[in-house]
Amino acid sequence: MTRPLDGITVVSLEHAVAAPFCTRQLADLGARVIKVERPGSGDFARGYDTRVRGQSSHFTWINRSKESLALDLKQPEAQGALAQLLERADVLVQNLAPGAAARMGLAYEALQARHPRLIVCDISGYGMDGPYRDKKAYDLLIQSEAGFLSVTGTPDTPAKAGISVADIAAGMYAYTSILSALLLRGRTGVGSHIDVSMLEAMGEWMGYPLYYAFEGAAPPPRAGAAHASIYPYGPFTAGDGGTVMLGLQNEREWQAFCAQVLQQPELADDARFATNALRNQHRDALRALIVQAFAALSAAQVLQRLDAAGIANARVNDMADLWAHPQLAARQRWRDVATPAGSVPALLPPGASNAFEPRMDPVPAVGEHTRAILAELGWDAARIDALAP
């Protein structure tokens, strides 16, 4: 079976989430990803927690299908090994501390002459230039800088995303930018430099609230789990204490919601709720009416009425519910992936293709492939023993 990136070699000086998320997706498509780690401790994300049979949840999620090469890049011999790897690599990815890659001679400008086909992707908090260039950046800090916290949470309290959304955004743009750079190299024969900023990735994802607040207009209010500008759209409590998530998008759905779900067709003509703007303006009054109607129903009964009326809805699931989600099971989206502590289930990457199966190889131990990779580079046993005792 041929995968889209078979034959592509990626060398990654990566840690945490953004770069590893990018390179795992390249590995999913068949790329060989050589992950350069610190000897002993490895990627510091390995130590975030011990929730997966003693291993980190973050690391298990985004590091399958990679080879781990343990190198102390402060040592000349290790730098030589890395230089040999780059001679045969297609892509170099790094998200080290600001300026660290350049100090090791790994800036694109330093590599371009020796490796004209190499694609270099630098992932950082704020980009390779500008006044924030050297500022350290972590996911929550970028969520804050990008204004994400200003529109997320309750009216009284801002809240961060429950996942590393800034890291994930940067990793996604690095991944797609590398794919486009590979396509471009196929036409020109020349590699290129990709500069991915977490702030700019989140800035793109903040496009709706940015334009909502265009030219000094009021920004979207923090509305908890409800939509900030469409109503009713969010969580509502049923009589059995269960929570139902529902969302209306247009006036036809509003009419159906009143008639079939609330079973109060006259409410559709109430002047307070005649348009979405008015419903949003009077959301407290409308919410009270909806909760009163739902008080006589279980969450399951509310969901049944919503389905019958063609109103979008969802259960408010927790992680146990997601592990057991019937739709994921029906579509056979789970595979087993080996780890140093045994096999664990893993979701197939999104975007099912009829042409190939994504690669789902093991999560590596620190330095698991060091000896094999150095031997592949032509090192003899004594030299390998000196670097990887």
Show which residues are catalytic: 227
For residues 173 and 241, the answer to whether their CB atoms sit within 8 Å is no
Sheet with 32-37, side-by-side order of all strands: 66-70, 32-37, 9-13, 91-94, 119-124, 193-197
Residue 17 CB partners (closer than 8 Å, separation 6+): 45, 58, 62, 139, 164, 167, 168, 171
Tokens of 378: 């032509």
Please enumerate, as own/partner, the contacts of 339-342 that have beta carbons within 8 Å and a separation of 24 or more: 339/52, 339/53, 339/55, 339/60, 339/363, 340/55, 340/364, 340/365, 340/368, 341/52, 341/53, 341/54, 341/55, 342/53
For residues 56 and 45, the answer to whether their CB atoms sit within 8 Å is yes
